[in-house]
C-alpha cells in the first residue's frame, strides 16, 4: 500500500525523505519552492542525488498555486508555462514520476475558452520522458475549472500531450460528487470512468472534507473525521479502482493530530476491510 503525505523540503529537497519516514509514509508529495511566489526550483546536485537514491515513492511535485493554465492573459500564461516547465524538469532530475497542477480559472473568458487555453498551455510544455503531468480535480468556485469530470476529459481530448489525472477526494466531494458511502463511492468511480477513464488516473489526494457535498468549499479534514466520514473513506481506500494508487495526504495538523495519525488511520481502514473479508 502506497500512502504518504505532503512534506516540507526546508533545508534541502532530500530532507523530505526523512520527514516522510518520520510520519510513517512510503510515498509522498512536495513543493520544490514556495507555492505562493514565482520562485523556481533551486536544487543542488548532492540533494538531487540523495533524493533519487531513496527507496520511497512514488513522489509527486505539486506545482505553484500561482500557475493558471486556463488564463486568457498572455503574461500570466507565459509565467505559468515557464513555472510548470521548471517543475517538470525538476521532476526528471529527482526521478519523480508525477507533476500535479490545477487547471486554474478562466476569469471571465468562459468555460470552453478556458479549457482551450489550458490544453494549449499544456501542449507548449516539453514534458521529459519518465514524467507525467497530472491534472488535479478542483472543488470549484468562481471561474475555476476542474470541478466537473467533463472538464478533465475535455482537456485530455484537446491536448496532444499524454497527461494523467489526480483526484482529490475532498475537492471531488465539495464539487458535488458524493463519496460518503460505499454506494456513493461506486457511483462516483463509475462516473469518472465513463467520463475520463480510470486508466488515466495515477494518484489520489486522500483528504476528508470539513464541508458538505456540493458546497464548493475546499477545506480538508482528518481521515474519517469530516463530512465524507469513516464509511466513505473506508470505501475509497479499499475500492479496486484506487487501492493500488499512491494515496497522498494533505490533511491538517490540528486537535493534536497530524500526518502520522492520518497515515495510521488509512492503514487501519485498509486492514479493517481486509479482516472483514
Strands (E) across the chain are located at 3-6, 28-30, 59-62, 98-101, 132-136, 164-168, 201-205, 208-209, 220-221, 247-249
- Is the pLDDT confidence value at 275 over 70? no
User: Is 256 within 8 Å of 225 (Cβ atoms)?
Assistant: no
Spatial separation of the C-alpha atoms in residues 72 and 128, rounded to whole Å:
26
Q: Which three cell numbers stand for residue 163?
A: 497527461
User: Is 260 within 8 Å of 222 (Cβ atoms)?
Assistant: no
Grid look-up 507533476 returns 99
User: Is 198 within 8 Å of 189 (Cβ atoms)?
Assistant: yes
pLDDT band at 179; cut points 50, 70, 90: very high
Contacts by 90-93, CB closer than 8 A, 24 or more apart: 90/32, 90/41, 90/43, 90/61, 91/61, 91/128, 91/131, 92/128, 92/129, 92/130, 92/131, 93/43, 93/48
Query: Which of the 8 DSSP states describes residue 188?
Result: H
Cis peptide before 129 (omega within 30 of 0): no
Q: pLDDT tens digits, residue range 20-74? A: 999 999 999 999 999 999 988 999 999 999 999 999 999 999 999 999 999 999 9
- Is the pLDDT confidence value at 277 over 90? no
**Total structural domains within the chain:** 1
Q: What is the CATH number of the domain that holds 250?
A: 3.20.20.150
Spatial separation of the C-alpha atoms in residues 184 and 210, rounded to whole Å:
18
Average pLDDT over every residue of 84-100: 98
The model's pTM = 0.96
User: Is 242 within 8 Å of 271 (Cβ atoms)?
Assistant: no
Q: Which three cell numbers stand for residue 266?
A: 488509512
Provide the residue range defining the domain that includes 31. 3-276
Amino acid at each position: 500500500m502506497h500512502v504518504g503525505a505532503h512534506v516540507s523540503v526546508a533545508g534541502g529537497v532530500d530532507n523530505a525523505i526523512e520527514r516522510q519516514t518520520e510520519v510513517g509514509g512510503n510515498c509522498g508529495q512536495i513543493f520544490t519552492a514556495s507555492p505562493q511566489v514565482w520562485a523556481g526550483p533551486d536544487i543542488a546536485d548532492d540533494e538531487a542525488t540523495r533524493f533519487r537514491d531513496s527507496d520511497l515513492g512514488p513522489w509527486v511535485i505539486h506545482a505553484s498555486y500561482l500557475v493558471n493554465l486556463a488564463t486568457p492573459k498572455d503574461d500570466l500564461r507565459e509565467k505559468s508555462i515557464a513555472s510548470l516547465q521548471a517543475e517538470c524538469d525538476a521532476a526528471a532530475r529527482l526521478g519523480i514520476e508525477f507533476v500535479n497542477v490545477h487547471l486554474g480559472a478562466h476569469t471571465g473568458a468562459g468555460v470552453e475558452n478556458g479549457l482551450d487555453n489550458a490544453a494549449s498551455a499544456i501542449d507548449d510544455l516539453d514534458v521529459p520522458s519518465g514524467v507525467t503531468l497530472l491534472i488535479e480535480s478542483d472543488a470549484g468556485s468562481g471561474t475555476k475549472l476542474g470541478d466537473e469530470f467533463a472538464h478533465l476529459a475535455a482537456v485530455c481530448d484537446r491536448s496532444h500531450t499524454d497527461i494523467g489525472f489526480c483526484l482529490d477526494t475532498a475537492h471531488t466531494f465539495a464539487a458535488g460528487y458524493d463519496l460518503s458511502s460505499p454506494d456513493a463511492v461506486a457511483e462516483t468511480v463509475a462516473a469518472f470512468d465513463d467520463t475520463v477513464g480510470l486508466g488515466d488516473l495515477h494518484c489520489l489526494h486522500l483528504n476528508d472534507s470539513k464541508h458538505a457535498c456540493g458546497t464548493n468549499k475546499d477545506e480538508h479534514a482528518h481521515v474519517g473525521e469530516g463530512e465524507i466520514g469513516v464509511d466513505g473513506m473506508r470505501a475509497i481506500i479499499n475500492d479496486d479502482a484506487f487501492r493500488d494508487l499512491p494515496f497522498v495526504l494533505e490533511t491538517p495538523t490540528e486537535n493534536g493530530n497530524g500526518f502520522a495519525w492520518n497515515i495510521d488511520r488509512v492503514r487501519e481502514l485498509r486492514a479493517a476491510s481486509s479482516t472483514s473479508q
